[in-house]
Amino acid sequence: MNRFIECVDVGKIYPGKTGPVEALRGIDFTCNAGDFVCLLGRSGCGKSTLLQMIAGLETPTTGQIAVAGRELDGPSPDAAIVFQDHGLFPWMTVTRNVEFNMKARGMPAAERAKRARGFIAMTSLMGFEDRYPHELSGGMRQRVGIARALTTDPKALLMDEPFGALDAQTRGNLQDELLQIWQTQQTTVLFVTHSIDEALLLADRILVFTPRPGRIAADIAVDLPRPRAPQSREFSELARELRGLVGAERDFD
């Protein structure tokens, strides 16, 4: 398979009131096209910072990041990012929000309307096309954000704890829908989470991050059949292994 995302010795340092703050250090990993990879770790370990650098929204202090064989020098045309805060425009309907990126790229109105209908259907938003964000539940607003991200046909979907603020049932439903979209679209997914169960339910590979400065403490393959059963012995054993890694992160050098 082709290496699609490559990070080589990536580090990030921010200026702070009392001196520089090192968010990430020595990040090295590659991700193949079509992979579903979760970035797992405690809050503040730099997972979101790395995701934003892979999207081209932040610049590494050290190292290089390449997406689709091109070293980044700005926002990546091959990636779309979905945040926990969906970032919808409150004055736009569902359809207009979903169409936004296509309109910004100059796509004709008829074509973008057709594509928007397709992604609205894919994300189970039929019947809500003319609603505004304040008329939607949190889960539905997140669906709109995902639909909008997909309209640009991204080769990589970068997701920053997109379900973190949702109730357990809605979160489970959206996890199932995301897996269906991933299997249908065959896009690469990088998914930030601090939930071990979520990582095991979704990913084929989990990168465990240390506390700040964030480093990759472990790279775990998840070789479990889908759909995954949290009550299974294999799932429980991997969860126990990950809890040990996350709990002992500070012991990694």
Q: Report which secondary-structure segment, H or E, holds 94.
A: helix 94-104
Q: What is the pLDDT of residues 113-160, one digit of tens each?
A: 999 999 999 998 999 999 999 999 989 999 999 999 999 889 999 999
To the nearest 10°, report the CA torsion of 74, 4, 83, 149. 90
Task: Examine the pLDDT at 197 and tell me if it is beyond 70.
Answer: yes
Mean pLDDT across the chain: 90
Domain-embedded: residue 112: no
Domain-embedded: residue 154: no
Q: What pLDDT shows up at residue 223?
A: 92
Domain-embedded: residue 25: yes
C-alpha distances in Å from residue 168, one per residue of 42, 130, 165, 174, 175: 20, 27, 9, 10, 10
Higher pLDDT, 2 or 187: 187
Domain-embedded: residue 165: no
Task: Examine the pLDDT at 251 and tell me if it is beyond 70.
Answer: no
Domain-embedded: residue 106: no
**Percent of the chain surpassing pLDDT 90:** 69
Task: Examine the pLDDT at 248 and tell me if it is beyond 60.
Answer: no
Mean pLDDT value of segment 36-60: 93
Domain-embedded: residue 210: yes
Per-residue confidence at 201, pLDDT binned at 50, 70, 90? very high
User: pTM of the full predicted structure?
Assistant: 0.91
Q: What pLDDT shows up at residue 43?
A: 85
Task: Examine the pLDDT at 1 and tell me if it is beyond 60.
Answer: no
Domain-embedded: residue 125: no
Q: What is the pLDDT of residues 61-108, one digit of tens each?
A: 999 999 988 898 888 888 999 988 778 999 999 999 999 999 988 899
Domain-embedded: residue 121: no
What are the E-state strand segments in the chain? 3-14, 21-32, 36-40, 62-67, 70-71, 79-83, 156-160, 188-193, 205-209, 216-221
Picking from 37, 133, 152, 121, the residue whose alpha carbon sits closest to that of residue 85 is 133
Here the CATH number for the domain that contains residue 218 is 3.40.50.300
- Quote the domain boundaries for residue 242: 1-73+188-253
Q: What pLDDT shows up at residue 158?
A: 95
The domain tally of the chain equals 1
Cβ 191 vs Cβ 203: under 8 Å: yes
Picking from 138, 224, 226, the residue whose alpha carbon sits closest to that of residue 182 is 226
Pairing of strands 21-32, 3-14: antiparallel
Cβ 37 vs Cβ 204: under 8 Å: yes
Cβ 228 vs Cβ 234: under 8 Å: no
Q: Hey, CA dihedral for 193, 91, 148, 80, is it positive or negative? A: negative
